[in-house]
Amino acid sequence: MALAGKWNKARNENGEAFLTALGVDKAALERAANAACVTEITDSGDKVVIVRNWNNGEKVDTNTITIGAESELTGPRGNAFKATVTREGDKLVGVGSGGKMKMFLEVVNGELVETVEAVEQKLTMKRFHTKA
């Protein structure tokens, strides 16, 4: 799968507005904006593991996804939530329990693009990653 491998966070789009709308305070926003993140994705068919290493191990989040089944994940605020993730070709599509959040992971023009949508707030955030 094209998503597999190590990826370095390069930039984000609409991150501040998105996280502010979700109640993230200014200090946390600044930390998030300045944080270095390496994302490693392993794909073994029905299971996808996404490990995020923030600031050289200061914080490590591991999300283990079972395709087609509800999985517990860590959200953009560091919060735990449940979502069901499916495949659409080489893209992963996740819908949070209750349908309040949607996420998409795909490779576009050689970059890993992670899109998170807050459905009720009608806000979208994108993170772009380059291959490590």
Predicted confidence at residue 1, as pLDDT, reads: 66
pTM for the full predicted model: 0.90
- What does the pLDDT read at residue 76? 64
State the architecture of 5-131 in CATH terms.
Beta Barrel (2.40)
- Over residues 20-73, the pLDDT tens digits come to 888 889 998 888 888 999 999 999 999 999 999 999 889 899 999 999 999 999
Residue 77: the pLDDT is 67
Report the alpha-carbon distance of residue 107 to residue 31 in Å, rounded. Answer: 26
Q: Which of 27, 28, 43, 33 is nearest to 10 (CA)?
A: 33
Q: What's the pLDDT score for residue 62?
A: 95
Tell me how far apart the alpha carbons of residues 115 and 104 are, in angstroms, rounded to a whole number: 5
Domain positions in the chain: 5-131
Q: What is the pLDDT of residues 61-116, one digit of tens each?
A: 999 999 999 999 987 667 888 999 999 999 999 999 889 999 999 999 999 999 99
Please report the pLDDT score of residue 111 as a whole number. 98
Kindly state the greatest CA–CA separation across the chain: 39
Per-residue model confidence (pLDDT) at position 79: 81
Q: What is the DSSP letter of 31?
A: H
The Cβ-side half-sphere exposure at 128, using a 13 Å CA radius, reads: 9
